[in-house]
A and B are shown apart, each in its own frame.
Chain A
């Protein structure tokens, strides 16, 4: 494999219904570790992911494993080795857990790694016959992430995997993503800065549909001025509530006084 980026996105633009959602996003996913995609609400993070995958009409360049893929249909790009856990989890409610996982199998592309998935999520094995629509949010997220780990993918894209989850489940998801990142690089869209601090080595920050910052995650998180400017978070009381990067339902959101206060992971 080349030492260049695994996924290189240049000048990605998305227009939906005559509205420019993305103007020119540049993004590299390093060949190892976690790359975080950050930005305020509405900055275009999810649209960027959907644009990369071709789930929305887009222009620009998307090179995956050195190959230009912007003209490929979604399924053909995904089959080149991408696991995708979307923002809404994309779980099929009327199918069982086992059927949800079976859908992610790729016939002719090697044995599906059920061993790994069931080791990480024993609950998915126990609940194999349960309809996915009756699972809790955390369990559905396990299905979504489990599907990305089934195929020995070269890249895993997880869009806000901790959104709406209880703090305990957030920790579990973080552990799983940490483990997953050892097998394949992860592009992580995340609002929870504690997650980013724990997992991410690189980061890309979007603002108003453009790339506003690229660099090491630790560097950004250690710079309160930059995080305030780019992400709209800062020391308690300085950020307006609607600009607060953490999801309001997340209890951890209130905990760190400011990004600079935590340098445990950032310094590593």
Chain B
């Protein structure tokens, strides 16, 4: 029983991490038809910026208490700015050329880890976190690492915030409409490009937050973290239905749980394969994903 509980909470934690990456990815694709292969790089930027700040380079930031909160905020802010710069400098000039656009994001997705590796080395760096978050607590006989709960809580907060933004604000309304029919949004007199930058900023913030908290989950940061998470985030996006935040949340939970349980009860590594099988099975049954949107 305790193993099942531990696996379930760890799976949910992993799902939370996937959701933080996939929610932005899904909105960006839904609104802009851009497959952002640089999204994993945004996670890495957030992770390294948080690590850099918590390691004592940012005044006021540190590895404990309020200092760590500041470090996470800093990492999230850096990721947000990076995403906006990416959209304005690289994606926007290439809107009429989708093929070049994909190549450009692939290029950034490769260049950022290389850059991080060049500056801080290819090896994993231990991630400093508050002592309170590195412990465990008992739940139904299992010892659950606290950082799992932090990830789950953060992902739930991001989900609620995104739903409030999409459902309750004019910008959110524009994004939802743009996911359906971008041209018609402009034909109503709305500059949809502003929504593009906004969605990139939101997606970048969520991914960078995922990077910051992923550091806690893994206990370290390394240049390739974002890229390996990105693959599963794409699986989540396709399963959830392009452009659907709720679908991404459901799919992220499913993928995280299946991966954890399969990795434990079969051979390690089969969990990753199980996720792909799950994706294939779902697409055969529901080609448009859980929420019925076209992948």
Contact A55 B190 (CB under 8 A): no
Question: Which residues of the other chain, A, contact B186 by a CB distance below 8 angstroms?
Answer: 55, 73-75, 78
A88 to chain B, nearest CB (A): 9
Q: Chain B 173-202 against A: per-residue CB contact (8 Å), 1 yes, 0 no?
A: 110110111011111111110000000000
Contact A95 B176 (CB under 8 A): yes
**Interface-central residue, A53, A92, A106, by most chain B CB under 10 Å:** A92
Contact B185 A103 (CB under 8 A): yes
Contact of B189 among A55, A79, A102 (CB under 8 A): A79
Contact A75 B189 (CB under 8 A): yes
Contact A90 B176 (CB under 8 A): no
Please report the C-alpha to C-alpha distance between residue A53 and residue B179 in the assembled complex, in whole angstroms: 21
Question: Which residues of the other chain, A, contact B97 by a CB distance below 8 angstroms?
Answer: none
Q: Chain A 137-152 against B: per-residue CB contact (8 Å), 1 yes, 0 no?
A: 0000000000100010
Query: A104: CB under 8 A from chain B?
Result: yes
Q: Chain A 46-60 against B: per-residue CB contact (8 Å), 1 yes, 0 no?
A: 000000010100000
Query: For residues 86 through 139 of chain A, which have their beta carbon under 8 Å from a beta carbon of chain B?
Result: 86, 90, 92-95, 99, 102-104, 106-107
Contact of B187 among A55, A93, A102, A107 (CB under 8 A): A55
Given contacts A90-B184, A92-B180, A93-B180, contact A78 B189 (CB under 8 A): yes
Contact A103 B190 (CB under 8 A): yes
Query: B170: CB under 8 A from chain A?
Result: yes
Chain A contact residues: helix, strand, loop or mixed? mixed
Query: A64: CB under 8 A from chain B?
Result: no
Please report the C-alpha to C-alpha distance between residue A73 and residue B188 in the assembled complex, in whole angstroms: 12
Contact A147 B176 (CB under 8 A): no
Question: Which residues of the other chain, A, contact B190 by a CB distance below 8 angstroms?
Answer: 75, 103
Contact B189 A92 (CB under 8 A): no
Contact B187 A78 (CB under 8 A): yes
Question: Which residues of the other chain, B, contact A106 by a CB distance below 8 angstroms?
Answer: 189
- Which B-chain residue is minimally distant from A77 (CB atoms)? B189
Please report the C-alpha to C-alpha distance between residue A49 and residue B190 in the assembled complex, in whole angstroms: 18
Interface footprint category on A: 20 to 34
Please report the C-alpha to C-alpha distance between residue A86 and residue B185 in the assembled complex, in whole angstroms: 12
Contact A103 B187 (CB under 8 A): no
Contact A86 B184 (CB under 8 A): yes
Given contacts A93-B180, A94-B176, contact A107 B170 (CB under 8 A): yes
B293 to chain A, nearest CB (A): 9
Contact B173 A102 (CB under 8 A): yes
Contact of B173 among A53, A99, A147, A151 (CB under 8 A): A99
Query: For residues 157 through 180 of chain B, which have their beta carbon under 8 Å from a beta carbon of chain A?
Result: 170, 173-174, 176-177, 179-180
Query: For residues 79 through 95 of chain B, which have their beta carbon under 8 Å from a beta carbon of chain A?
Result: none
A246 to chain B, nearest CB (A): 27
Contact of B181 among A53, A92, A102 (CB under 8 A): A92
Contact A92 B177 (CB under 8 A): yes
Question: Which residues of the other chain, B, contact A84 by a CB distance below 8 angstroms?
Answer: 187-188
Contact B188 A55 (CB under 8 A): no
Question: Which residues of the other chain, B, contact A78 by a CB distance below 8 angstroms?
Answer: 186-189
Please report the C-alpha to C-alpha distance between residue A112 and residue B185 in the assembled complex, in whole angstroms: 17
A107 to chain B, nearest CB (A): 7
Question: Which residues of the other chain, A, contact B174 by a CB distance below 8 angstroms?
Answer: 103
A225 to chain B, nearest CB (A): 38
**Interface-central residue, A55, A94, A107, by most chain B CB under 10 Å:** A94
A126 to chain B, nearest CB (A): 21
Question: Which residues of the other chain, A, contact B188 by a CB distance below 8 angstroms?
Answer: 75, 78, 84, 103-104, 147
A94 to chain B, nearest CB (A): 6
Contact B183 A55 (CB under 8 A): yes
B179 to chain A, nearest CB (A): 8
Question: Which residues of the other chain, A, contact B177 by a CB distance below 8 angstroms?
Answer: 92, 95, 99, 103
Contact B180 A74 (CB under 8 A): no
A194 to chain B, nearest CB (A): 28
Please report the C-alpha to C-alpha distance between residue A78 and residue B180 in the assembled complex, in whole angstroms: 20
Contact A90 B173 (CB under 8 A): no
Please report the C-alpha to C-alpha distance between residue A102 and residue B177 in the assembled complex, in whole angstroms: 11
**Interface-central residue, A73, A75, A94, A147, by most chain B CB under 10 Å:** A75
Question: Which residues of the other chain, B, contact A151 by a CB distance below 8 angstroms?
Answer: 189
Contact A95 B173 (CB under 8 A): yes
Question: Which residues of the other chain, B, contact A92 by a CB distance below 8 angstroms?
Answer: 176-177, 180-181, 184
Can you give 18 A-B contacts (C-beta < 8 A)? A55-B183, A55-B186, A74-B183, A75-B186, A76-B191, A78-B186, A79-B189, A90-B184, A90-B187, A92-B177, A92-B180, A92-B184, A95-B177, A95-B180, A99-B173, A99-B176, A102-B170, A103-B173
B residues touching A (Cβ–Cβ < 8 Å)? 170, 173-174, 176-177, 179-181, 183-192
Q: Which 10 pairs from chain A and chain B are nearest by CB?
A: A78-B189, A90-B184, A74-B186, A79-B189, A75-B186, A75-B191, A92-B177, A92-B180, A84-B187, A104-B188
